[in-house]
Structure 1
Amino acid sequence: MGVLASKIIGVGSYVPPKVYKNTDIEEMMNTSDEWIVQRTGIEQRHWVDSKTSTSDLAVKASEEAISNAGLNKEDIDMIVFATLSPDFDFPGTGCFLQAKLGMSEIPCLDLRQQCSGFLYAMSVADKFISTGTNKNILVVGAEVHSKGLDQTPDGRNVAVLFGDGAGAIVMSAAEVNDKKSEPCFIDASLNSDGKYAKELWIPAPGTGFDSSERMSQEMLDEKLHYPQMNGRTVFVHATKRMAESLGALLEKNNLTIDDVDVFLFHQANLRINSKVAEMMGIPEEKVFNTIQKYGNTTAATIPLGMHDAMKEGVLKPGMLVASAAFGAGFTWASALYRV
């Protein structure tokens, strides 16, 4: 008699068509292609037009994932949506996605765990499925960063990092005899440390000010509605926590680096991923990177990478995948799953 588990049965992704190469934003932000590539590994990113929202990107990725799974929209019984760039403050973007997909009455859950969001979302979906509550869950990561970036020299240290995009998977119930050898979601580690929340954040709008308003002209003048980051602190914590979390998860499941076929890390900075691989002794050929063409798409990054790896023949059925992510909060996570 096997055990109830969840497995990935469909994958989809979408990026807006407009590409902004580093050379396209050099004058805009008083920067250079050489500077960006050297410090981040990013060569280009995709940014939306004025009419496109986060849920619009999510629709296309979701439709592809559902089709790839061989299911109809009516077969989906829950949506878990990870994003830090919602269409609106409320309601959650999962509700807008649900309406655009033509679904009704199934539960929608939004997660705001930034760069760790998709791994949190996978873990949440796995719990609903493995307890028998749901059968087919659409898990989405989507972001529109470009509309919230300071695209001037003042904001270049952050603005050059981010791109827009969406990725989605369908996780479905399956009975397995051996979770480690059969395709399924194996295990995850989720963590956070809120004392670093202001090292990477957007202060405004919000209720945390000594003000009767969530947004004021003064906040706008101070550009508090744009992302702020302590880059060095983020780098130090990201490399440490990603390696620490993934190492502990492998040990917990009696697995080693050699057992893993593909490492799909969150793509925030190529230097971070290279450092994590070096610290853990991961062969370069096992790490699949996409930051060079998409930039940091936060919650969309891992499903985008998963789909690209599949399309390029790097990730094949039956392979064991290890993922790790680190982001604002600070939050970090790792996961093991076989596709």
Structure 2
Amino acid sequence: MDIYASTLSPAVDIGAGCYLLVVAVLSIIGNLLVLIMAFKKSSRMKPPELLSVNLAVTDLGAAVTMYPLAVASAWSHHWLGGDVTCLYYGLAGFFFGVASIMNLTILAVVRFVVSLNLQSPSEKISWKKVKMLCICIWLYALVWALFPVLGWGRYGPEPFGLSCSLAWGEMKHEGFSFVISMFSLNLVMPSVIIICCYFGITIKLYFTYKNSMNNSSRIPNIIKLHRRLLVIAVLISVGFIGCWAPYGLMSLWSIFHDSETIPPEVSLLPCMFAKSSTVYNPLIYYIFSQSFKREVKQLQGMCSGFNACRVSNSINDNSIYMVTADIKPTIAARSTLQEIMESKTVTLG
């Protein structure tokens, strides 16, 4: 029996290939736009924003290195390349998946730490620390991706035959410790940390707002800023975890039950849904950040002239991690702060 032959109908294969092609195109375009906007603001970028750039890199990396092979295989009604490409695809998928969830976790922790010092201009996270965090994220993901290659865990084809991942059904006994460790350290623990951090930020913002109502007109503006960033961050985290949760549940079912009891079409759906996670972040930025939307439209005007694409540098780029002492409670100052909010939401979302 050919384990790389599709168990789906040709029509479903074509549909899956078209879906993945759309996901790939949207992911590449969207995340490239995020990186372009971040590059244009690089001189004003604050250290923690590098984590958001790092997240866009993981999504772009998955879309570029994985999806073209999956699309070609779907349209061929057979996984292309055999064992070599199956190992490559499974390793890449696991690598970028772990990197994304850990990036979201570190981002939540950094936001929580920053939220504890809303009024402290001296409290900063250095570039060196953030760069070390990014390196640790990639090294951590690489170690976990290499474990199956070294014998702890295993990569193999999905039940429907057109994708490769961790061979859940083959790890019921010898790889069971890997499954438990992987789910505990790369799904459950990060999810709990993310939930606790954002819940803590919400509580902090609530009490800060209440305490500042009668004391200052500046703090509520900063609360609005952090609230907007909090909404974007929560949506991104929920989107990623929500996309991968069905696939995780199906994988657990394959561990404790016979995976052949799941129809191929049913096992295909969580896999396709998980792959769509790389699309959502730029879409969330575009919907909730007026600055990002405006700059994307400016970039679209590049064909009509270079000046149409220039981003204004007139905005006073105060760090959104602190309240500067020179902000006056006037209408003009609040307008400036609103512009700052919009300009910083792009990369911190």
Asked if these proteins are the same fold (TM beyond 0.5), I'd say: no
Greater gyration radius:
2
Q: Which structure: greater helix fraction?
A: 2
TM-score by length of 1: 0.30
Q: Which structure: greater strand fraction?
A: 1
